[in-house]
Amino acid sequence: MDPAVLQAIQDEFLQEWGGLMDAARQGALPALKDRRFAAEAWQQSQPHLLLAHLYLLSTRTLKRMADAADLGESTRQRLHFALMQWTDALAPSNFLALNPDALQSMIDSKGASLQAGLTNFLQDVGRRRISQTDESQFEVGGNVATTPGQIVYENRFFQLIQYAPQTDKVYERPLLFVPPCINKYYILDLQQHNSLVRHAVEQGHRLFLVSWRNPLPEDQDLLSATWDDYIEQGVLEAIRVVSDITAQPRINILGFCVGGTLLASALALAKTRGQDLAESITLLTTMLDFSDTGILDVFVDETHTRLREQTIGQGGLLSAQELATTFSFLRPNELVWNYVVGNYLKGESPKAFDLLYWNSDSTNLPGPFFTWYFRNTYLENNLCQPGRLSVGGQPQDLRLLDMPAYVFGSREDHIVPWKTAYLNTGILQGPIRFVLGASGHIAGVINPAASNKRSYWAEEGTAEPGSLPQQADDWFAGAAEHPGSWWPDWMNWLSGYAGKQVAAKKRLGSSAYPPIEPAPGRYVKVRAV
């Protein structure tokens, strides 16, 4: 670090420190907007409020020093991530004796809040995770994942749900959802008011959905499953069955997050085999080019990759608990320490929230599948390089994807940065409509049309291949902001590829694929241990 820069940072730190001490002596410390220190109890206790101010000053100073350090960008990101973990963990609000709001709760409740907090803590120790919502208020198939349908096919990788029509007429060409296997599918079918599944069905689409199996340690048939297995026996098999049931040679397909990456890989493999399976594709918060993976890059290096390959690469599981913990600590104040304070220090029960219930219902991943994915996407970015990989015994070339595409990114997404999602427009070779939604990875996607919340950015019409700007910022400069949900925009686009409308059939499945059990099926109800 430049000594002069370091000296300037130190001088400013000492000056601000002195100013805060003077304000404290005069009882004139300003209130804080930071939600951790915004409660009235912090304003009423000058010593605690001073501690909060000094903590925030120290945190800002450490971040400035990290910015000023002479480091490569990758190392700087890791340093910032480490600083975030330590400084967020050491916030005075996280400790009972230093949190006046928690102390006031204890006094007001005559110790009951402390007793309740201990009970909450012991229960979470038993669960081996921090509770983010009141899980007793939700049941898969009871009040989440409730859109009516039937399981019409299953194998060791997935169950295929066909949803019952809710309109007299439906589009002739079916629609298939491929959700990520890293999470349960019902993020797309939470409750009636915020279900993308129900919305698509209500718009007249013949909807099918892949419900991935959640592998457990005793499921020996899945512990050695590979990327190729998920492509051949997962995505391509689901497409084949949907086409057979509906007698449609080409279908519309949506892929979400890792589901979109799997979908693109599968359709490229089909193209090399001379199979044209998709009339259109929709990719929601999906990465195909992994050159910029945002904050997740801090976990990616050769040492970590080799360790995974040596431990679970030939068989085993990447546990749901580890995945959930990793994603939570990407936003520790919101998804970790907020609940430590509320659940344990103040003895509060978390509110019932369907999205956080889904977030707690994580899935395991087969080790060979994960290690192949981790090396060939996050570490080496091979997937988007033509011919660099072999999938299904064929060279992988995503440039073969020339069907119309709807590509969606979320502006505040920390898992799939929107500018990385935009890179898909330079890979896909068909007509493309790119849409940018407000909010993050999940809230940006699950934005019900009826709520009329948030907004999205888009240009007019669908762009011809190669006509979109190469740089995401240039696209954004020419895009218009539209209030409300992007769902109607997608429905309008999708209707152009859905074919004519025909009378809806009440019977689901077919003679070759009779219904097995009602939706949501058995696979989605299996919880990781």
Amino acid identity, residue 359? Answer: N
Alpha carbon distance 478, 469 (integer Å): 10
Please name every residue paired with 369 in a beta bridge, in sequence order, or none if there are none.
none
506-518 burial: b if 16+ Cβ within 10 Å, else e: eebbbeebebeee
Q: Are 191 and 526 in contact (CB under 8 A)?
A: no
Given 84, 175, 257, 284, which residue is catalytic?
Answer: 257
SS3 content of the chain, % helix, strand, coil (to 5): 45, 15, 40
Q: Are 353 and 133 in contact (CB under 8 A)?
A: yes
C-alpha torsion angle, residues 128, 130, 132, 136 (rounded to 10) = 40
Alpha carbon distance 194, 216 (integer Å): 30
Is 181 labeled as catalytic in the residue annotation?
no
Alpha carbon distance 342, 450 (integer Å): 32
* Residues in Cβ contact with 419 at an 8 Å cutoff, skipping those fewer than 6 apart: 292, 409, 472, 473
Q: What are the structure tokens assigned to 509, written together?
A: 């499945």
* Residues in Cβ contact with 122 at an 8 Å cutoff, skipping those fewer than 6 apart: none
Residues acting as catalytic residues: 257
